[in-house]
């Protein structure tokens, strides 16, 4: 049974935590003496760049170390129990019931062979928190709170039948099903568009407050952590840089590194000029199963050497558009032209040269990389397949690509599981670049990266564009990224294009209603932003009803 939840009582205390990671049979310290105290009802934000140790510390709060890591020092005391001294059986009994974890990649966390509702209720039923019928009713209530569409029936779907954002919210419901004392949120809104993110943040904050739940909120998004956290810890290279209450941290950061994190949130990029059109999508309709229409009358152009950003909320058709372009989902109507010539509709009908010219970088690096292939093989495969490079010539090019994406050649023999989330995504970028393409479709490629790494990746993509004249179709829900990298913007809603044009035009008022909603939903580095936005929306709804 859970102990009584007395607000303000210390729930978790970590002291002098040390964790090592293994690389090439050598153990290196990756968390270096970090400590934290978390009270009931409190939300602690952990921020820092990729590889800072945020997720490793979050997992350690459950008494867990991922494969290739080991906890070598310190204490982890949860509600009076030292998890380092507890048996594996005792730790396992806590996980899911009293300590829950919401992972960054929902797509990699769900079993594709089971319905969503079955996976949501599994922990509550397995830990005898409530019987199956009550667990299902509670799951549907959580779906409603988390703003999932058709909450009474969406659980009957399989994971691949919902959008990435919807699956992420379903995983949040699964974690909350046992009403745990502690929830570890590891980038839980990374996959969500800005409008959906507002609803989910509000729902998570309400549930945490309602049940007096403590939370560790791991993120690279400073504006998001400002809405959720009471305190913020800044980490770098496995060490604590500084810690302070959220408002103090945002307005008066003391350390130079923290000030750098704050500064790189705004990033201005130069405008560029277009020549001709490399990709033209003309009047495209697309359906799933020949019945469910997901794209309708979509017309989009991508000029050579320029970046077109496609924005819209989860389920608006952004990723489906990418599937049409790549031939994974042949259009029901309309044509896709590349360099003025119609692209074969289906992937199987495209020759090797056509495939080489259009590459894609996927949203979830966890599911896009083969866990059994080393980095040299992941990047080397397209070099061999498209360009015919082999042996030392291939390896030299792999090292060159690693340098381009600012990774050390020391990583060349690592498996994906030995890399951080940011490193994995950069490997995906290198794999796409290896084919020397003319067009790269970037599907949320920076969503899993912290601000500093995002800045480096965006600058890298722009540098490569300048050097090679490559074009980007950049699918994203992050308006800050759109401002940074886009030349032109396409706004989508429910499978249709509702606005498009130059970035300066689309982002300048007055805006169409849906564009205005997207822009107003971008989190600001003000702890009161979410509260004020929700009040504003409530007032607008009340005015409409009156």
CA dihedral angle for residue 333, residue 335, residue 336, residue 342, rounded to 10 degrees:
140
Residue 97: pLDDT over 60:
yes
pLDDT tens by residue, 207-246: 788 888 899 999 877 778 888 899 999 999 999 999 999 9
Query: Are both 111 and 225 inside the same structural domain?
Result: yes
- Domain end among 235, 263, 291: 263
Query: Are both 236 and 286 inside the same structural domain?
Result: no
The answer to whether position 258 is within a domain reads: yes
The answer to whether position 206 is within a domain reads: yes
Residue recorded with tokens 């107003």: 520
The answer to whether position 541 is within a domain reads: no
The answer to whether the beta carbons of residues 12 and 38 sit under 8 Å apart is yes
Give the Å distances, CA to CA, from 160 to 143, 156, 202, 442, 491: 17, 12, 26, 20, 24
The answer to whether position 92 is within a domain reads: yes
Q: Where are the alpha helices (DSSP H) in 190-315?
A: 194-210, 222-228, 246-251, 256-263
According to the model, what pLDDT value does residue 378 have? 97
Query: Are both 241 and 358 inside the same structural domain?
Result: no
Say which CATH number the domain at 317 has: 3.40.50.300
Three-class SS state of 252: coil
Residue 46: pLDDT over 70:
yes
How many domains does the chain fold into?
Answer: 2
pLDDT tens by residue, 426-470: 899 899 999 999 999 998 887 767 777 778 778 888 888 888 889
Average pLDDT, the chain: 87
- Domain end among 234, 263, 292: 263
Q: Look at 270-284, 353-367, 491-505, 509-523 and tell me which has the smallest mean pLDDT.
A: 270-284
Query: Are both 253 and 355 inside the same structural domain?
Result: no
Give the Å distances, CA to CA, from 194 to 263, 377, 523: 21, 36, 8
Query: Are both 283 and 151 inside the same structural domain?
Result: no
The answer to whether position 375 is within a domain reads: no
Query: Are both 174 and 298 inside the same structural domain?
Result: no
Query: Are both 440 and 488 inside the same structural domain?
Result: yes
Query: Are both 283 and 259 inside the same structural domain?
Result: no
pTM of the predicted protein model: 0.62
Q: 311 - beta bridge partners?
A: 491
The answer to whether position 202 is within a domain reads: yes
Query: Are both 257 and 334 inside the same structural domain?
Result: no
Q: Which residues of 116-143 are buried (b: 16+ CB within 10 A; e: fewer)?
A: bbbbbbbbbbebebbeeeebbebbbebb
The answer to whether position 395 is within a domain reads: no
* Structural domain range at position 479: 277-369+435-508
Query: Are both 104 and 181 inside the same structural domain?
Result: yes
The answer to whether position 427 is within a domain reads: no
Residue 421: pLDDT over 90:
no
According to the model, what pLDDT value does residue 157 have? 96
CA-based Rg of the chain, rounded to a whole angstrom?
Answer: 23
- Dihedrals phi, psi of 164, to nearest 5 degrees: -60, -40
Query: Are both 144 and 239 inside the same structural domain?
Result: yes
Query: Are both 17 and 164 inside the same structural domain?
Result: yes
- Domain end among 219, 239, 263: 263
Contacts of 468 (CB under 8 A, 6+ apart): 436
The pLDDT-based confidence of 23 (bands split at 50, 70, 90) is: confident
């Amino acid at each position: 049974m859970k102990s009584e939840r007395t607000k303000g009582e210390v729930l978790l205390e970590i002291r002098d935590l040390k964790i090592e990671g293994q690389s090439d049979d050598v153990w290196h310290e990756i968390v270096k003496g970090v400590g934290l105290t978390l009270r009931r009802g409190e939300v602690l934000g952990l921020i820092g760049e990729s590889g800072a140790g945020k997720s490793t510390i979050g997992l350690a709060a459950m008494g867990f170390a991922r494969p290739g890591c080991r906890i070598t020092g310190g204490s982890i005391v949860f509600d009076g129990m030292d998890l380092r001294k507890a048996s594996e059986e005792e730790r396992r009994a806590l996980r899911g019931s009293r300590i829950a974890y919401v992972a960054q990649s929902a797509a990699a966390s769900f079993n594709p062979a089971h319905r969503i509702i079955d996976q949501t209720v599994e922990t509550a039923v397995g830990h005898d928190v409530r019987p199956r019928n009550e667990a299902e009713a509670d799951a549907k209530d959580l779906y409603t709170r988390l703003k999932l569409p058709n909450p009474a029936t969406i659980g009957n779907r399989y994971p691949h039948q919902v959008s990435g954002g919807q699956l992420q919210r379903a995983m949040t419901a699964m974690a909350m099903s046992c009403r745990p004392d502690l929830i570890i949120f590891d980038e839980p809104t990374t996959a969500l568009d800005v409008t959906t993110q507002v609803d989910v943040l509000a729902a998570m904050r309400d549930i945490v407050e309602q049940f007096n739940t403590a939370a560790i909120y791991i993120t690279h998004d400073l504006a998001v952590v400002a809405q959720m956290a009471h305190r913020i810890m800044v980490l770098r290279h496995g060490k604590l840089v500084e810690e302070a209450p959220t408002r103090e941290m945002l307005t008066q950061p003391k350390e130079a590194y923290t000030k750098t994190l704050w500064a790189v949130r705004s990033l201005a990029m130069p405008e560029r000029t277009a020549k001709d059109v490399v990709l033209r999508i003309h009047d495209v309709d697309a359906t799933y199963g020949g019945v469910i229409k997901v794209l309708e009358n979509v017309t989009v152009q991508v000029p050579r050497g320029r970046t077109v950003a496609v924005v819209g909320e989860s389920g608006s058709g952004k990723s489906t558009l990418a599937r049409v372009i790549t031939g994974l989902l042949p259009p029901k109507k309309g044509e896709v032209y590349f360099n003025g010539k119609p692209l074969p509709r289906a992937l199987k009908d495209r020759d090797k040269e056509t495939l080489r010219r259009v590459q894609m970088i996927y949203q979830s690096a966890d599911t896009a990389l083969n866990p059994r292939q080393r980095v040299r093989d992941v990047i080397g495969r397209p070099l061999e397949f498209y360009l015919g490079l082999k042996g030392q010539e291939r390896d030299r090019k792999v090292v060159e690509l690693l340098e381009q994406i600012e990774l050390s050649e020391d990583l060349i023999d690592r498996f994906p599981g030995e890399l951080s989330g940011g490193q994995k995504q950069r490997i995906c970028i290198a794999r796409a670049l290896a084919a020397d393409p003319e067009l790269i479709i970037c599907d949320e490629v920076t969503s899993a990266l912290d601000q500093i790494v995002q800045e480096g990746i965006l600058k890298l993509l722009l540098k490569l564009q300048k050097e090679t004249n490559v074009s980007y179709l950049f699918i994203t829900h992050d308006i800050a990224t759109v401002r940074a990298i886009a030349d032109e913007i396409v706004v989508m809603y429910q499978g249709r294009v509702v606005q498009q044009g130059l970035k300066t035009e689309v982002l300048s008022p007055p805006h169409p209603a849906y564009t205005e909603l997207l822009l107003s939903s971008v989190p600001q580095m003000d702890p009161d932003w979410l509260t004020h936005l929700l009040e504003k929306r409530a007032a607008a709804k009340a005015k409409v009803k009156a």
